[in-house]
Structure 1
Amino acid sequence: MKSESASKSRSNSDSNSKSQGTRSIVLGEVEVIRVVEWQGAFVPARGLVPDSGAELWKGNEEWLAPDHWDPDSDRAVVTLQTWVLRSGGRTVLVDTGVGNGRERPGSAQFHHWQGDFLGGLARAGVRPQDVDVVVNTHIHGDHVGWNTFGADGGWVPTFPNAQYLIPAADDFHFGPDNAYGNGLREDDRLIYEDSIAPVHRSGQAVLWDGSHRIDEHLTLESAPGHTPGSSVLRLASGGDRAVFAGDLLHSPVQILTPSCNSCFCMDAAQAAASRHRILERAADERELVIPAHFGGAGAVEVRKEGDGFSLERWAAFETP
């Protein structure tokens, strides 16, 4: 797997642009394609990762900027992206972004969002009818949005031939049985109703718990804390290993200090434990860590360092 020094990673795009395009690498017998929906300076850095000190960001500015942090505005740079895997003759999507035309009153930036996600998939050679499996690592609005699209006044599955793999614990928590996340956020009900419920009605939803094997190369595993059903997808093919870490990591500073949660983590202790466990295994087994929201090269190898971890090599994905 081609890689480059972490300290030399730089984005060649405007960090506020709605970046389009596809990038790919091959791991064993699996092709991994990156489809970016949006990238930009998102929220204040220590708003995203509340327990991270200013010195953590400033002390690593050389490589955090500009791909992961905008020092001028002190805002974290994030990317919304889907990973397309071609494995065992099938096409698998890992998370489906924000989606167009959604009611998201709690997320002003993506309320009634309109983007070119399907165009990005098309440029990657993927038509909706070609998708065999959709993985939702968890049920948050920026991971399930393109599960569906608006048609005739309602929402229908975007990928008509796909099996949608949804963590059972999240489906319970965010669904009607637990009154849409205990009714704490109106967005939770809206997300479930427009992006999850239609997949149940079509008979395409598969709920799983603990672990779920997709094929000989791909296995889902629970990694709770960010949400009750938060999960990761492990890839093992030939001599290559990777872990699609979802929202266990929002920023590379959480690799340096894995005890630091994002502001979106629901169970702080459980999320930190899951993050440390996944990073420790990645370091031991030389897994490429592929989070949902990293900008720049998007994926990185890690190594143990003291009580935490350090970044060793970025993957060979071109920067958006």
Structure 2
Amino acid sequence: MQTPAPALEPSWTIGDIVIHRIDEIALPSQTGPWLLPDATVDVVARHDWLRPDFADHDGVPRLHSQTFGLEAGGLRVLVDTGIGNGKTRANPAWHHLQTDYLDRLTAAGFPPDSVDLVVLTHLHTDHVGWNTRRVNGEWVPTFPNARYITSRAEREFWAEYDMDEARTQMFDDSVIPVEDAGLLDAVDVPDQGADVAPGLRLLPTPGHTPGHIAVQISSQGETALITGDCIHHPVQFAHPAIGSCVDIDPDQAEATRRGLLDMLADTGALVLGTHFPAPTAGRVTPHGKAYRLAPVPAVPRVSP
């Protein structure tokens, strides 16, 4: 009997740091029109470079849920934790998922017990879900040996926010258990950013949420940036004014997006989107009056 081929994990190399994409799920086709209502099929159709990778043939934006793993300064780091399994969610696409995410994470070289640092770009449902998993009927930290970090501004905002039932449920099953275990640190992220490991810097990117952060990775003169939700989809490179229906401060989100794109344009920095479908990563290049994402395909790496 033929032995199955080993799984392939997509990755990109920045200096001596390898960034691994850990897939969770492709989001349903209705997600794009709901999340980015101004990214209409007519808007998308103006940009041939968006198809077929970032939008379907009808011009509907594609979105995925994925996280990123890397090693920096001797630390195994996970950026965001996706939607999670078995959780009660108001969004039907996220409700009681059962995916093989942890198997994929382990295959990429990041078994849960080995993770040292979990960076949460913000505290939204689809970015904190694998913070915990159910064990003997209780939600416990998935990464028991890790320090989980988010920005102080983010945690303090939600501490004072009048949360609805769905968000309260999310905090109860995915944030509070990590805090109760003493594993969640809220860190100050000043305008110039905050270094949390060699080659790993948190950058303030407010607007989608008040304390949202992006993650900058630097090694041997090369740079990458993981967007979180300050940029949801490549159509926003061409139209930075297109915002998300769940942005807390739409004007600030647009200003952050424009500033980030201006900073990254023509620098050679690799941009990796937490919700970008494959090829997921690329470089910001001027295009018309705005920008486009010039894709940089992942290199399939044979998992150990």
Which residue, 72, 77, 80 being the options, matches 2:65?
80
Query: Does 1:33 pair with 2:20?
Result: yes
Letter in 2 for 1:173: F
Letter in 1 for 2:85: N
Superposed CA deviations along residues 262-302 of structure 1, whole A, max 9, x for unmatched, are: 22211100000111111111115321111111012101101
Secondary structure, in 3 states, of the residue corresponding to 2:62? strand
Which residue, 102, 114, 120 being the options, matches 1:118?
102
How many Å separate the matches in 2 of 1:45 and 1:199? 31
Alignment of 1:300-319 (within 5 A): 300-317=282-299
Q: Which residue of 1 aligns with 2:3?
A: none
How many Å separate the matches in 2 of 1:144 and 1:196? 7
Query: Does 1:182 pair with 2:162?
Result: yes
* Contact residue 139 and residue 174 of structure 2 kept, 8 A: yes
Secondary structure, in 3 states, of the residue corresponding to 2:18? strand
How many Å separate the matches in 1 of 2:179 and 2:194? 19
Alignment of 1:211-290 (within 5 A): 211-290=193-272
* Contact residue 300 and residue 314 of structure 1 kept, 8 A: yes
Deviation at 1:68, TM superposition (A): 2.1
* Contact residue 24 and residue 82 of structure 2 kept, 8 A: yes
* Contact residue 32 and residue 84 of structure 1 kept, 8 A: yes
Letter in 1 for 2:117: V
Q: Which residue of 2 aligns with 1:9?
A: none
Q: Which residue of 2 aligns with 1:151?
A: 135
Letter in 1 for 2:280: G
Deviation at 1:138, TM superposition (A): 0.5
Deviation at 1:248, TM superposition (A): 1.3
How many Å separate the matches in 2 of 1:97 and 1:311? 23
Letter in 2 for 1:257: H
TM-score, scaled relative to structure 1: 0.85
* Contact residue 99 and residue 145 of structure 1 kept, 8 A: yes
How many Å separate the matches in 2 of 1:284 and 1:76? 25
How many Å separate the matches in 2 of 1:209 and 1:282? 23
How many Å separate the matches in 1 of 2:227 and 2:27? 20
How many Å separate the matches in 2 of 1:186 and 1:169? 22
Equivalenced residue count is 292
How many Å separate the matches in 1 of 2:23 and 2:40? 29
How many Å separate the matches in 1 of 2:299 and 2:207? 29
How many Å separate the matches in 2 of 1:285 and 1:75? 29
* Contact residue 27 and residue 65 of structure 2 kept, 8 A: no
How many Å separate the matches in 1 of 2:95 and 2:294? 37
How many Å separate the matches in 2 of 1:44 and 1:203? 35
Q: Which residue of 2 aligns with 1:64?
A: 50
Which residue, 272, 277, 280 being the options, matches 1:295?
277
% of aligned pairs identical?
A: 36
Letter in 1 for 2:202: L
- Name structure 2 gaps, 5 residues minimum: 1-6
Letter in 1 for 2:244: S
- Name structure 1 gaps, 5 residues minimum: 1-19
How many Å separate the matches in 1 of 2:49 and 2:288? 20
* Contact residue 136 and residue 166 of structure 1 kept, 8 A: yes
| CA 1:313–1:70: 2 relative to 1, 3 Å | closer
Letter in 2 for 1:83: F
How many Å separate the matches in 1 of 2:215 and 2:117? 13
Q: Provide the aligned C-alpha RMSD in A.
A: 2.0
Which residue, 137, 151, 173 being the options, matches 1:167?
151
Deviation at 1:30, TM superposition (A): 0.9
| CA 1:187–1:66: 2 relative to 1, 3 Å | farther
* Contact residue 232 and residue 276 of structure 2 kept, 8 A: yes
Query: Does 1:99 pair with 2:78?
Result: no
Deviation at 1:53, TM superposition (A): 4.2
